Structure formats: structure tokens, C-alpha cells
């Protein structure tokens, strides 16, 4: 009897959405904005050449030991160029969410 009650409580706790899942559903992706993470082995010259091929400029540049890249607004064509580039590890879409009471 006690085991069945315990199992029922555990299964309902596992099935309940976590705060992370709830937050994921409320995310709003910012259109045409991307954070570009460069591969670790990309030279500074290659990164500069890649950035020079875009006209919009960049809102941020990142030079950290574990993250090198830049962020900005890009057209669909520019996004395709970034995705095809051998220097880019990943394109990230920034997002935000609202806090609800």
C-alpha cells in the first residue's frame, strides 16, 4: 500500500512541467538577429574577413576564452552565408520572455 502511494506521488512529480519547460514555451525569438559563435581554431584574420563581408555591422563582438563571435541583424541571404561558412560553429537566435503573475 505504501509503495503504491509512493509510486503515484513520484509519477505525478515526474509528469509535472518544470519551470524550465514553462519558460521555454514563453520564449519570443527576436527576428533576424543572431549570435554567431566561431570555431575555436578560426584565426583572427579569418574572423575579420567573415565580418567584413556583411554591411549591417554588428551590435556586439565577443572575445572570451571560451566564446569568440559576434552578434547582429542579418538578412536571410546573410544567414545562409553564415551557416555555410567553415568558420562558424553555431548560430544562436536570441530570445526573451515575459514574467507572468
> CATH number for the domain including 87?
3.30.70.80
* Among the listed residues 1, 86, 4, the one whose alpha carbon sits nearest the alpha carbon of residue 49: 86
Q: What is the pLDDT of residue 34?
A: 92
Domain that holds residue 28: 17-96
Within-domain flag for 43: yes
Within-domain flag for 50: yes
Report the number of distinct structural domains present in the chain: 1
* Per-residue pLDDT reduced to its tens digit, 40-97: 999 888 888 888 887 776 888 888 888 999 999 998 999 999 999 999 999 998 888 8
Within-domain flag for 8: no
To which residue does cell 551590435 refer? 59
Amino acid at each position: 500500500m505504501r509503495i503504491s502511494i509512493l509510486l503515484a506521488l513520484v509519477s505525478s512529480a515526474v509528469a509535472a512541467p518544470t519551470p524550465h519547460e514553462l519558460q521555454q514555451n514563453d520564449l519570443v525569438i527576436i527576428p533576424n538577429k543572431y549570435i554567431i559563435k566561431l570555431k575555436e581554431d578560426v584565426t583572427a584574420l579569418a574572423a575579420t574577413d567573415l565580418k567584413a563581408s556583411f554591411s549591417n555591422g554588428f551590435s556586439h563582438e565577443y572575445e572570451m576564452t571560451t566564446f569568440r563571435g559576434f552578434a547582429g541583424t542579418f538578412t536571410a541571404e546573410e544567414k545562409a552565408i553564415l551557416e555555410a561558412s567553415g568558420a562558424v560553429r553555431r548560430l544562436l537566435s536570441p530570445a526573451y520572455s515575459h514574467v507572468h503573475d
